[in-house]
Structure 1
């Protein structure tokens, strides 16, 4: 299985430069997507893990993804870098 790089906040695949967030110096982040991270900071710094779980569920439902895929995505969130210390 291919080891994909995913956003360490929401779990979205970082498979193109276009979806990567940016650091303060303008370089692309290899850890976070543009929806979570911009200019070296989180777009929603007060968001907690439960908020992110709901956000991921809602976004994936809009894409009409299967419930199994949604649950699988939500299950990995606690292991991601942003949420490990919480």
Structure 2
């Protein structure tokens, strides 16, 4: 797992930008960028989304995302029994058991409904508001397998 401070500095340098140049694009001070890159402070989720847009990277590249998380709801896998199963009963590394079982999604939903359903639970487990969690999910879900191009799990 890469930390935001490291991902931000690395991505900014890869894009050939100085802290001053990135700050100007974000309408903030160079010192704010410096504090983020040293880990003294962290930007909020809305600023992280702006940074990702300015650096032309998925927001997930800048977040402290775990290696494995559900490709439908974004939930981090913390226990082995949280994973879903394929039609043949084998465990999948891609989906949680609440979103996927027996080789198919457990329920039909839209991305917006998923965000509305998951944001309050996420807020209970994090030190963020429901709105911040909804904003984060709005940035992450479109990058997940279930929500890219097709809602069919085997495509």
Q: TM-score range by the shorter chain?
A: 0.7 to 0.9
Q: Point out 4+ residue stretches in structure 1 off by more than 6 angstroms.
A: none
User: Which of 105, 128, 131 does residue 42 from structure 1 map onto?
Assistant: 105
- 2:117 is aligned with 1:55: yes
Q: Relative to 1, partners in 2 of residues 1:22 and 1:50: Cα closer, same or farther, differing over 3 Å?
A: same
The corresponding residue for 2:54 is: none
Instruction: Give matches, 1:11-26, under 5 Å.
Output: 11-26=74-89
Whether the 8 Å contact between 1:17 and 1:28 is mirrored in structure 2 is no
TM-score, scaled to structure 2: 0.48
User: Which of 146, 150, 153 does residue 82 from structure 1 map onto?
Assistant: 146
Larger radius of gyration: 2
Q: Normalized per residue, which structure has more strand?
A: 1
Alignment size in residue pairs: 84
Structure 2 unmatched ranges of 5 or more: 3-64, 151-155
Q: Relative to 1, partners in 2 of residues 1:20 and 1:69: Cα closer, same or farther, differing over 3 Å?
A: farther
Cα-Cα RMSD: 2.1
Which structure has more RCO (C-alpha within 8 Å, separation ≥ 6)? 1
Whether the 8 Å contact between 1:14 and 1:30 is mirrored in structure 2 is no
